[in-house]
Structure 1
Amino acid sequence: MVESLVESEATSTLVIGIGNRQRKDDAAGLAVVDQLRDEALDGVELVEHSGEAASLMDLWQGREVLVIDATSSGQPAGTIRRVDLLEEQLADEVLATCSSHAFGLAQAVELGRALGELPPRLVLYGIEGADFSHGEGLSGAVEEAVEEVVGEVASEVGSGASEAP
């Protein structure tokens, strides 16, 4: 699933929310994009995505990209991690292991790195999930983290900064 929520040829920044609404906390990235729709973010395209690697690589070509996804690293639920993926490798086990994107973001980043095809800016906001079982709805800690990430992403893309606010 790739759903463009804002269409603009002048778009310079792409914000991708990755997840599956039917896997509870795996929908954290999608929830961030949902809330960002209400922000007035000029030059920003918001996209919902399943996390499939080849499609991600096509989508981010030549753009500055921020990705929001659920993580499963053993940290407390709701923990937020901002990673500059141009500087740091992302271990496969950090992303939600129960998600629907088995060959997904981590593999896309490393393949893009190997091929020299990463975007000029690639940042991940990871939100640590607690419950990836079937069903809808985020856990309380993840809902709170979503609110915080919405503010951070809005500030980051609004300022055009390449570092976190």
Structure 2
Amino acid sequence: MSPRIVVIGVGNPLRGDDGAGPAVVEALRGRVPDGTVLTVSDGEPARLLDLWCDADTVIIVEALCSRPGRPGELHTLTPAEAAGHARATASTHALGLGECLALAETLDRMPPRLVVHAVEAADLGLGEHLSDPVRSALPELTERVAVSVRQAYERHPGP
């Protein structure tokens, strides 16, 4: 049986750099193995839990805000790191990833493997634009996610 690998681009493309996650998902089309689930979400925790239901590996891609900010800086986080990072930073959404992970733990709905790839945002204003630092970081962010997908398939070879 083939593994279920889910890549979720979290964000809103109409809010500047918050569109980084969805942009990476779009850039991955044709670059990852067939059967990889590529989807986007607004970050609402219940929807995220539904999207990763029955997944062997979940890869989340999103923008984050930190204080002080370093726009364009990339982060790769385990669930524990993401939860800890969430205390010092904020998702660009009403409820952050930390709250979503806590809910998943409480409901026993954490996937066996979850990794978060994030880019620090510079501009979350209205409009379909990415700031220069985030746009410049997208190729490397996309490659990091593609590598995570390949590694997930290597860990769970199909039939």
TM-score by length of 1: 0.82
Do the aligned residues in 2 keep the contact of 1:18 with 1:69 (CA within 8 Å)?
yes
Structure 2 spans left out of the alignment, 5+ residues = none
**Paired residue type of 2:63:** A
* Offset of residue 43 of structure 1: 3.3
- Correspondence for 1:127: 119
**Equivalent of 1:80 in 74, 87, 93:** 74
Count residues with an aligned counterpart: 151
1:68 alignment partner, SS class = strand
**Paired residue type of 1:95:** A
* Offset of residue 88 of structure 1: 5.1
Counterparts in 2 of 1:89 and 1:126: CA distance versus 1, 3 Å: same
* Offset of residue 126 of structure 1: 1.1
- Correspondence for 2:148: 156
Which protein is richer in helix relative to its size?
2
**Paired residue type of 2:16:** K
- Correspondence for 2:99: 107
* Offset of residue 122 of structure 1: 1.1
* Offset of residue 158 of structure 1: 1.3
Cα distance in 2 between the residues matched to 1:56 and 1:118: 11
Structure 1 spans left out of the alignment, 5+ residues = 1-8
1:130 alignment partner, SS class = coil
TM-score by length of 2: 0.85
- Correspondence for 1:3: none
TM-align CA RMSD? 2.1
